[in-house]
Structure 1
Amino acid sequence: MNKIQNKKVIYKDLHQADYLKTWKLQEKLLQHIISIKLKNKKSVNDEISLTPNYFLFVSHPHIFTLGKNGNLDNLLISNFKLQDIKAQFIKTNRGGDITYHGPGQIVGYPIFDLDNFFNDIHKYMRMLEEVIIKTVNFYGIKGERSNGETGVWIDVNKPFARKICAIGVKASQWVTIHGFALNLSPNLSYFDYIVPCGIKNKYVTSLEKELGISVKTNEVKKIIKKYFSEIFDLEWI
């Protein structure tokens, strides 16, 4: 572990960006961080370089992504139908099953060196959930965890339990990629084409559907950043 933990996070809002291009960018940043860590391990003079942390906000065009251990049967439509609804489908290397990304979502990708924070992936996932729970709570919505089902839910113990935020990550050498997708105002009908996260008989919702009013994207992003600062004890740069 680094002798000095760098809790500064380089922030970038990509606004609208292609999923594959953004994934490649995450991999590039991941490899950059890992290269510094490997160089630090080989240092014989105890001279180490601090590893950076990054955070990307983005919104993607319509796309369904399947996690590395996901079940392809949870994609319920054909390639022809994918073309008809102007959506892509790809397999990724993140955890989790299938999910949807599209306009109206706030997607966050933390590329963090967890050596700068703590070495615990389970804790990291729970803290991502906590950021979103506090964010939706800011708007008067009670976000919850569902036992064994990663993400943020509403009315989790009621018949109409619904997910408002999906989370799926990957870590290499304690460096994270991928992240969360908070439904602000997406077209929720796209979730009808999949079994979201491989979980049957539960639903998907959005912040604006729950509130019944529109919310400004930049305002929600500021609130997410605020809670990241508090929960991860980080500094945005």
Structure 2
Amino acid sequence: MNKKVVFQDLGLRDYKETWDYQELLFKEIVDAKIKNRREATQLETANHFLFVEHPHVYTLGKSGDIKNLLVDQAQLAAKGATFYKINRGGDITYHGPGQVVGYPILDLDNFFTDIHKYLRFLEEMVILTLAEYGLKAMRSTGETGVWLDVGTPFARKICAMGVRASRWVTMHGFALNVNADLGYFDMMIPCGIKDKAVTSLNAELGLAQIDMDEVKQKLLRHFEILFEAEMVKEKI
């Protein structure tokens, strides 16, 4: 099993461009697995972890309802935002500057073949990272992602998640609000959940800005421990 995970920080990158790149990496892994099965070869399958920030964009998962986007194309354009219907699970979500977006593209045969466990590990990675900032984050039953004050009238989501998996290969991932402009969440019903708010790390800490690179390093460290992975940085 190949436990090496090549990670790249793509910086600020267009959503569609990054989605296409994910699809390319995803296909390379799947094709290697298909060849191994058909030809009895033993090609090593790769694992990747991408960090990225996107310009303002709304994405709708396969099971999502377009009614959860509360604005039309003209209003999106006026706010400098784009929209895509994509092939992950989940409903609608927002990506934008000030948000740490992570896309693990893993062959889970290298780790464990359990999608439920995979999602819980991604949540745990975020929960442990937020704990380093003094926040007690948690899960909300039946609602994938990471939350604060679950079970109270003040429950709010700080990290959204939505993944795709085929042949135990994953793509898409998580979006952690660090310095995000929360006003953009008013243009949708986040994840189709009407009665809960959205927050960000800087808002919770009462700070203008949080060091994004510091957050990424904490996330990577917890990912490496949870997945028993070896992180290898690749230059862009």
Which amino acid in the other structure matches residue 79 of structure 2?
I
Task: Decide which of 188, 195, 198 is 1:201's aligned counterpart.
Answer: 195
Where 1:233 maps in the other structure, the secondary structure is coil
Secondary structure at the counterpart of residue 192 of structure 1:
helix
Q: What does residue 10 of structure 2 align with?
A: 14
Partner residue of 1:28? 24
> Of 133, 148, 166, which residue of structure 1 is paired with 2:142?
148
Task: Find the aligned partners of 2:66 and 2:36 in 1 and give their Cα distance.
Answer: 40
How far apart, in 2, do the equivalents of 1:150 and 1:120 lie?
A: 15
Unaligned runs of 5+ in 1: none
**Of residues 84, 87, 95 in structure 2, which corresponds to 1:90?**
84
Quote the Cα distance in structure 2 between the aligned partners of 1:123 and 1:139: 25
Shift of 1:50: 1.1
Q: Separation in 2 of the partners of 1:80 and 1:53?
A: 39
Report the Cα distance in structure 1 between the residues aligned to 2:63 and 2:39, rounded to whole angstroms: 37
Counterpart of 1:180 (choices 158, 174, 177) is 174
Deviation at 1:41, TM superposition (A): 1.0
Residue 100 of structure 2: aligned partner? 106
In 1, Cα distance between the equivalents of 2:200 and 2:73? 27
CA offset digits 1:133-180 (Å, max 9, x no partner): 001011000111000000000001110100000000000111000000
Once residues 135 and 188 of structure 1 are traced to their aligned partners in structure 2, the CA distance between those partners, rounded to angstroms, is 20
Q: Tell me, in whole angstroms, the C-alpha distance in 1 between the residues paired with 2:77 and 2:9.
A: 28
Does 1:222 find its partner at 2:217? yes
Q: Residue 184 of structure 2 aligns with which residue?
A: 190
Distance in 2, matches of 1:220 and 1:79, equals 33
* Residue in structure 2 matching 1:139, options 128, 133, 141: 133
1:161 is matched with which residue? 155
SS of equivalent residue, structure 1 residue 82: helix
Give the share of equivalent positions with the same residue, in percent. 56
CA distance in 2, matches of 1:43, 1:50: 14
Q: Cα distance, 1:21 vs. partner?
A: 0.6
User: Residue 232 in 1 paired to residue 205 in 2?
Assistant: no
Aligned residues: 231
Runs of 4+ in 1 over 4 A off after TM superposition: none
**2:109 matches 1:115:** yes
Which amino acid in 1 is paired with 2:53? S
Q: Distance in 2 between matches of 1:67 and 1:162?
A: 21
Q: What residue ranges of structure 2 are gaps of 5+ in the alignment?
A: none
Structure 1 residue 42 displacement after superposition:
2.4
Separation of aligned partners in 2, 1:222 and 1:80 = 38
1:55 and 1:125 map into 2 onto residues whose CA distance is 15
Distance 1:81 1:43 in 2: 52
Return the letter of the residue paired with 2:74.
F
Rounded Cα–Cα distance in structure 2 between residues aligned with 1:110 and 1:80: 33
| DSSP-derived class of the 2:109 partner | helix
Q: CA RMSD in A?
A: 0.8
Question: Which of residues 69, 88, 95 in structure 2 aligns to 1:75?
Answer: 69
Residue 135 of structure 2 aligns to a residue whose secondary structure is coil
Query: What amino acid is aligned across from residue 51 of structure 1 in structure 2?
Result: T
* Deviations 1:161-213, CA, capped at 9 Å, x for gaps: 00000000000111000000000011100000000000011000000000112
Structure 2 distance, partners of 1:7, 1:109, is: 17
1:53 corresponds to 2:40:
no
SS in 2 for 1:157: coil
SS in 1 for 2:42: coil
